[in-house]
Amino acid sequence: MPIIVNLDMLLVKRKMSLTELSEKVGVTIANLSILKQNHAKAIRFSTLEAICEALECQPGDILEYESTHKE
């Protein structure tokens, strides 16, 4: 999947644990773990908004596009 979730990097930067984020955002640790490990197929705007608010960042800090086509 060419969309990469940089949640683990942001958590380290903010010195926040997944449990803490889970409590702030209201998403289960299991689901955050799926997101962190790049296994998620989609993310709701409401979830993205809550994560951005909790981590004080922009959606672009969490999501990154990496092209799969080699030039």
CB of 35 to another protein, least distance (A): 5
- Cβ-proximal residues to 36 (8 Å cutoff; 6+ apart), any chain: 5, 7, 8, 11, 18
- Cβ-proximal residues to 8 (8 Å cutoff; 6+ apart), any chain: 36
The contact mask relative to another protein for 10-49 (x = CB under 8 A, - = no) is -----------------x---xx-xx---xxxxxx--x--
Asked if 1 is part of the footprint of another protein (rule: CB under 8 A), the reply reads no
Residue at 27: amino acid letter: V
Residues that bind another protein (CB under 8 A): 27, 31-32, 34-35, 39-44, 47
